[in-house]
Structure 1
Amino acid sequence: MTSLLNRLLPLWIALLALSGPAVAAPATLDELLARPVAPPGVVFEIVDRDPGALEVALPWVKQAAQRLKARHPGLPMALVTHGQEMFALQTGQRAGNQAIHQIAESLSRDDGIPVHVCETYAGRRGLAAEDFPAYIDVAPTGPTQIRNYEALDYVRLVVPRSAMLKTR
């Protein structure tokens, strides 16, 4: 039995190494605000089944970003939205979602927070990058975009689901 374990242990260690880095648990806004030293960056993640989620999620992100910048001036931030809610950011949806588009554009232009949507998910609906306004970056995949930020040591902050935000 010991011989078998000795032979399997290197294989198990190699499999762990190949599985890639462990994904860090997302932080909360309160945890980030309590930190004495700013993280290298923060990436907000919105993924919700509610197509109208951005109506509450984007104002929450705007306010959270302001609080984080007040606590940690110069903190780089980004936003990735890759659930049903992201479709409200289409150029063709602007008329019915003016407030959402104004906040997304303001985050990008005024706050220097890139706003990313998922091209893969958009493609499943027959949409392309051209179907989103210039202030929206269409990333190849939302999860990969988040991992790219995490590789730069950004801390992931999952925006509470719209149902939770509406009850607050």
Structure 2
Amino acid sequence: MLAYLRQSAEEVPPNVSLVTNESGERKLRFRQTLSVHYNNNSLQTVPLCAHLSLPTVSLSCDSLDFGTCYVGQTLVKEVHLSNRGGSSSYWRILIDSGEEEEGSEFRVTPDCGVLKPLEYPVSSCTQPLQISFTASNEREFQATAVVEGVLGEPPLSLHVQGRGSFDERFVSLLADI
């Protein structure tokens, strides 16, 4: 059924549609007619409608700027990943720095998990994500953290950036060393 989410509008059968309500919750709607044939040769048709609830995930922001940080020092900021949909979301985060060599300046913890649907306690449908930045050199760093779900959720992007400096005025006493 989830394969319909990956198909173009022309490929999806006319009895299948994606429905989004006012709160942003997404559902796949299936409409069909059930034909019941009786022994006395009579026929009864019954319209059927079924909904498949989908996860609807969102981030509390779409960009993070760590500003200028002292090289080698780790700073941490937090964003929240939430599910306001009607089914659980199985997600993971991949960081793309856009460079051939994979830089480890940005990290996300946790990098995967499960978010329960909105009808569960709020604490189980929201996940705090710790984004850390450790400058390895005196320059600008940028990356995109992409949240991917396995149940047809559109991918979410979080742009992160920060700058490294050897200037000691950027040493933070609050950093997570």
Q: TM-score range by the shorter chain?
A: under 0.3
TM-score, structure 2 length as denominator? 0.26
> Highest CA radius of gyration, 1 or 2?
2
- The structure where strand makes up a greater share of residues is 2
- The structure where helix makes up a greater share of residues is 1
Higher RCO structure, 1 or 2 (CA under 8 Å, sep 6+): 1
